Structure 1
Amino acid sequence: MNSSNPILNRAYGKRGYAAMETIPQSRVEDNLEEAYNAPAASSLRTGRMTMDDVVARTGILLGIAVIVGAASWYLNLPSSFLFIGLIGGLVTGLIGAFSKTVRPALYMTYAVFQGLLMGILSRTFELFYPGIVQQAVVATVAAFVGMLFLYKSGRLRATPKFTKVLIGATLGYLVLAMGSLISVLLGGGSLYSLSVFGPMLAMAGVALASFFLILDFDQAEQGVRMGLPQEESWRAGFGLVMTVIWLYLEILRLLAILRGGND
């Protein structure tokens, strides 16, 4: 029996279904077993990002920041390098965040600047409050693991309402933080130094940075689910590193405020 579909006719050589070659059952079973035992398709085979890619890129960028931070700590670099790290991290961070193109080299440069900033700041805080850096690192890891658990368990999700409220609150917080920085540069006082408002503002920063991890987890998961190109894992890793560094610095500041108030 011939098909009226010319494509099917060409596929079967215009022979009809009865003329099709019958595949032995043993060969079918062998093919199924071979497919079942084959390793899962990696991003190298599919060209699509996987969660392993995101973890690897995040590890690379975070590793660069930690290595540069440790080097700047032990080299005891002058405070002028602090401003280089601050300005460089701000510029590269903004470019990376708003760029439509994936830029791995830019993300690595950002990690270098942020490592410089973290290393010098951490050493300075450690001189005034011994042990504070270790406390900040432990608290950052704990916050990361805690937010990952809440996300994976479904207790916290990046719903449109959650995202809208979080971004709005973060923008408001950044305005206050920038205002405080400008006040200090002009010779005034910092908002964080106020007896009651300072600790509350610092705790708000820690909370916002922690909740922002939910958006980063969701971005990575959505990218994998949508089958985005493998290079997009760099962007997801960049977002995670930005938030983790922000969280660490906020925790470091909060601990310094709390310990300073107890001195």
Structure 2
Amino acid sequence: MRSSNPVFSRRGFTRDAGARAGYAGFNTAPQAGGTAVGTNPYATNPYAADPYGQAAGRSGAMTMDDVVSRTALTLGAVVVTAVLSWLLLPVDEANLGRSYGIAVGAALVALVLGLVQSFKRRPTPALILAYAAFEGVFLGVLSSVVSTYIASGVVIQAVLGTMAVFAGTLIAYRMRWIRVTGRFYRFVMAAAMGFLILMAVNLLFSVFTHGDGLGFRSGGLGIAFGIVGILLGACFLALDFKQVEDGVAYGAPREESWLAAFGLTMTLVWIYLEILRVLSILQNNN
């Protein structure tokens, strides 16, 4: 199965042709070497000829501990730079324009770094951590602006909400309440494409009309679309969990855990921004 995340899309996460009714790639047992065509999602992976990385000097296959530790490092970089940017870049009326400029600049740099990594054949930890750092600057400045001028107190609520969505999705995935099949993947990707198109159209209208565009980001309609965005983020998390589970089960190289951390971080940032937006609208409407 192809991943929902562009980070995974070049890594051979292919759907098992025989998995029509069950989980993609999980109806057959993993092979000892992890390279059997038709059963191993990594059979077309650039690492497949050496799944354990011994010839290249890598040490072993990816484990869940690897994913957890790399994700902790990546999210830690986001949190640290977000806190520092909040504390060191004060948001006031005199510096508001500069703060917006820093936030937009950091977001663009993070976008470029993310795209570069997504098109690389192998993960680059320094590039992933740099992406996380610039993403943290963007989130820190944006959160400070929202807390100061739009809706005070919502940042902590958004963080807690993001953690709750992550935990709830993980529990639902582990309990198999969410079945990650080919149909599930296609539905999520179609819904995400429609969501992003509508948001892009709304942004264009807001630029030309100097208002709220089509109203997808304010009022009742904005809340509805924000909830849809959160649900899509939860679906992306389920797909990311599936990719991690595939990687561990089929002996992906240990360095692939950096891609798992990268993908999970991108999804969690998405969820945080959508929750922050919904909470801001709700507080302003009260």
Does structure 1 retain, via aligned residues, the 8 Å contact 2:78–2:133?
Answer: yes
Whole-Å separation in 2 of the counterparts to 1:195 and 1:46:
53
Residues 236 and 169 from structure 1, CA distance in 2 versus in 1: closer, same or farther, beyond 3 angstroms? same
Instruction: Point out where structure 2 has 5 or more consecutive residues left out of the alignment.
Output: 1-53, 91-98
The residue correspondences of 1:247-262 to structure 2 (distance < 5 A) are: 247-262=271-286
The reply to whether residue 115 of structure 1 matches residue 136 of structure 2 is yes
Query: If the length of structure 2 is used for normalisation, what is the TM-score?
Result: 0.73
Find the counterpart in structure 1 of residue 75 from structure 2.
62
Instruction: Say whether residues 1:72 and 2:65 are aligned partners.
Output: no
Query: Does 1:103 pair with 2:124?
Result: yes
- Give distance in 2, aligned partners of 1:94 and 1:117: 17
Aligned counterpart, 1:18:
none
Task: Give me the TM-score of the superposition, normalised by structure 1.
Answer: 0.79
Matched, 1:229 2:256: no
Structure with greater helix share of residues? 1
Aligned pair count reads 220
Match of residue 220 from structure 1: 244
Query: 1:79-98 residue pairs with structure 2 within 5 A?
Result: 79-98=100-119
Which structure 1 residue ranges, 5 or more long, are not aligned?
A: 1-42
Residue type at the aligned position of 1:51: M
Instruction: Using the aligned pairs only, state the percent identity.
Output: 40
In the alignment, the residues of structure 1 paired with residue 249 and residue 59 of structure 2 have an alpha-carbon distance, to the nearest angstrom, of 13
- 1:122: Cα distance to partner? 0.7
| Structure 1 residue 46, shift from structure 2 partner | 5.4
Partner SS for 1:196: helix
Q: Report the Cα distance in structure 2 between the residues aligned to 1:159 and 1:74, rounded to whole angstroms.
A: 44
Change (3 A) 1:46 1:105: closer
Give matches, 1:1-263, under 5 Å.
47-76=60-89, 78-127=99-148, 128-186=150-208, 187-190=210-213, 191-262=215-286
Tell me how far apart the structure 2 counterparts of residues 68 and 135 of structure 1 sit (CA, whole Å): 19
Moved over 6 A (4+): none
- Could you tell me how far apart the structure 2 residues matched to 1:62 and 1:250 are? 18
What are the superposed Cα offsets for residues 107-161 of structure 1, whole Å, 9 maximum, x if unpaired? Answer: 1111011101110111111113221011101111111000000011111121111
Conserved 8 A contact 2:180-2:242: yes
